Amino acid sequence: MQHVLVTGGAGYIGSHACKALQAAGFIPVTFDNLSTGWSDAVKFGPFEQGDLSDRAALDAVFARYQPVAVMHFAALSQVGESMQDPGKYWRHNVMGSLTLIEAAVAAGCQNFVFSSTCATYGDQDNVVLDEDSAQLPINAYGASKRAIEDILRNFGASHGLTHVIFRYFNVAGSDPGGEIGEYHQPETHLIPLMLDAIAGKRPALTVFGTDYDTPDGTCIRDYVHVCDLVDAHILGLKWLQDGRGNRIFNLGSGEGFSVREVIDHSRAVTNRDVPVVEGARRAGDCTKLVSGSVRAMTELGWTPERSTLGVMIGDAWRWHQNGHYDK
């Protein structure tokens, strides 16, 4: 069986990718420093604890497992933090990714699947964003991801590194089987924060900004189920193995929901009230981000089957009630 190196494989999306890789017949090798990931989430293949800044550790992992591809999820991803400390994001995200890419090329591992983000597009209202939309990031998180995309293009031209880049929108939900789920410390994502408030684990959900130019004044986002998302990564890996070349794909449901709409859906799914307080806007937050994912659907054959709010919140709620990780 072929190995795939999964950076950030102990994290939310990376752990779901490892499960999908195992189901697809690969052996996922998790490389994670556990700064935000959880050792209990590593269930589907070998675990190598290390940091992307450690070239020697990366070289050793490439030599030991000889992976046929890299799936790169490891990154700092808090928009607010990136506005306050941009240098941290350039050091960790960009320099760490550069070290990883150089190690992959040196080891002859020429297939690279990269977890990018819709944050590279910035704040472009009243448009559906597709892969040709201008990249105008308004925070260091989005800017760092755009820079890594540029590095991949450079190494594609100079060293023949083939890559698939996925720019995805708001990821939600959890493994329907309950083996793994979404759990961050500190928690920053809307749906788990909302479920914490419903369960009484926090006093209330804070809605950051109610004066946006949207129908109800709150931000609009496109949500995609984590299992649909990682299914696309398996398709992207096979795309590269079939020799189909470099490609960028957006991943989203193509439908936007406001914060208030997500709250309303959660009431219907959980049959519980959501305590809410209103707060000021957060720096770096866009008004509306909605994906055009036609390319992924037509070229990859991807279908976001679980990416409805009801399913995403329902899966997340089951995990929230039953699952947890310990460092």
Domain at 275, CATH number: 3.90.25.10
Residue 11, pLDDT above cutoff 80 = yes
Average pLDDT over residues 311-319: 94
Q: Same domain, yes or no, for 216 and 266?
A: yes
Position 243 confidence tier, pLDDT thresholds 50, 70, 90: very high
Residues 28, 44: Cα–Cα separation, whole Å: 7
Q: What's the pLDDT score for residue 321? A: 85
Q: What is the DSSP annotation of 70-84?
A: EEE------HHHHHH
Residue whose tokens read 């002859």? 108
User: Is residue 139 in some structural domain?
Assistant: yes
Q: What's the pLDDT score for residue 223? A: 94
Q: Same domain, yes or no, for 61 and 195?
A: no
Residue 18, pLDDT above cutoff 50 = yes
Exposure of 85 by Cβ count < 10 A (0-12 exposed, 13-18 middle, 19+ buried)? middle
Q: Same domain, yes or no, for 101 and 234?
A: yes
Q: Same domain, yes or no, for 216 and 120?
A: no
Q: Same domain, yes or no, for 194 and 288?
A: yes
More confident position, 207 or 320: 207
pLDDT, the chain, mean: 93
**CA 247 to chain CA centroid, nearest Å:** 18
User: Is residue 178 in some structural domain?
Assistant: no
Q: What's the pLDDT score for residue 221? A: 92
Residues 181, 45: Cα–Cα separation, whole Å: 17
Q: Same domain, yes or no, for 233 and 289?
A: no
- φ and ψ of 109, to 5 deg: -90, 100
User: Known catalytic residues?
Assistant: 141
Q: What's the pLDDT score for residue 262? A: 95
Q: What's the pLDDT score for residue 204? A: 94
- Report H helices in the chain: 12-23, 55-65, 79-84, 86-89, 96-106, 140-159, 190-199, 226-241, 259-270, 294-295, 309-322
Q: Same domain, yes or no, for 33 and 122?
A: yes
Position 128 confidence tier, pLDDT thresholds 50, 70, 90: confident
CA distances to 123, 126, 149, 273 from 133, in Å = 11, 13, 15, 39
User: Is residue 179 in some structural domain?
Assistant: no
Domain count, the chain: 2
Q: What's the pLDDT score for residue 327? A: 40
Q: Same domain, yes or no, for 42 and 64?
A: yes
3 state DSSP class of 276: strand
Average pLDDT over residues 37-52: 96
Strand partners, 269: none
Residue 326, pLDDT above cutoff 70 = no
Position 184 confidence tier, pLDDT thresholds 50, 70, 90: confident
69-121 confidence digits (pLDDT tens): 999 999 998 887 888 999 999 999 999 999 999 999 999 999 999 999 999 99
Q: Are 234 and 24 in contact (CB under 8 A)?
A: yes
Please tell me what DSSP assigns to residue 291: B
Q: What is the DSSP annotation of 118-168?
A: GGGG---TTS-B-TTS-----SHHHHHHHHHHHHHHHHHHHH--EEEEEEE
Position 126 confidence tier, pLDDT thresholds 50, 70, 90: low
Q: Same domain, yes or no, for 159 and 233?
A: yes
Average pLDDT over residues 27-32: 98
Q: Same domain, yes or no, for 134 and 226?
A: yes
User: Is residue 10 in some structural domain?
Assistant: yes
What domain range includes position 316? 190-221+254-322
Q: What's the pLDDT score for residue 323? A: 67
User: Is residue 233 in some structural domain?
Assistant: yes
265-289 confidence digits (pLDDT tens): 999 999 999 999 999 998 777 788 8
